Amino acid sequence: MDIFLLVLGGLFLLIGVIGDVLPGLPGVPFSYLGLIMIALTSHHPYSWTFMLVWLSIVVLVTLLDYLIPSWGAKRFGGTSWGANGALVGVVLGIFAGPWGIIVGPFVGAVVGELLRPMVKGIPIADFSQALRAGFGSFIGILSGIILKLICSGMMIYYFIDALIKIY
C-alpha cells in the first residue's frame, strides 16, 4: 500500500507543478495532496504541526493567487476589466504554447482596458493607461506563478527528503 501512496503522491506533485503554470488547475493544493499521500504511509514522516502549517501556507498562497493579478493591474492604474482580461489572456494563451502563457495576460489586460469604455459608454480609454494596466496584470500573474512554483517546489523537496529518509 505504501508504494501505491508514494506513486500517487508523486503524481499529485507533478500535477501540482503543471497546475502552478496552467490556469484552472489548482497546483498548490494538488502538491499538498502529494504530501498527504506520503504522510499516510506506514512511516508517518510528518507531524500534525508540519501538515497544519503547510495547509495554512496552501490556503494563503491560493488566496494570494486570486488577489495578486488584480492588485498588479490596479497598482499600475488598471481596473477589474484589465484584471479579467489578463485572466482571459492566460486561458487563451495556453493554446499558443509557452509564449502564449507569458504574453496572453498582457494582451488580455490591454484589450480588457480598451473594451471597458465601449461597453460602459464612457470616453475612449487612454492607450498608455491600458498598457500600464496590462503590464501590472502581467507582473501580477507572473508573481503568482512564481509564488506557486516556490511553494510546490518546497513540497517536492520535503516529499523527496522524506522518501530518502524512509527508504
The whole-angstrom separation of Cα 148 and Cα 44 is 25
Mean pLDDT, all residues of the chain: 87
Band of pLDDT at residue 122, cut at 50, 70 and 90? low
What size, in residues, is the chain?
167
The pLDDT tens digits of the residues spanning 66-99 come to 788 777 877 887 777 887 887 788 778 878 877 7
Instruction: State the Cα–Cα distance between residues 18 and 84, nearest whole angstrom.
Output: 22
> Can you give the residue ranges of every domain in the chain?
2-166
Residue 148 has pLDDT above 80, yes or no: yes
CA–CA dist 54, 41 (Å, integer):
18
- CA–CA dist 40, 69 (Å, integer): 35
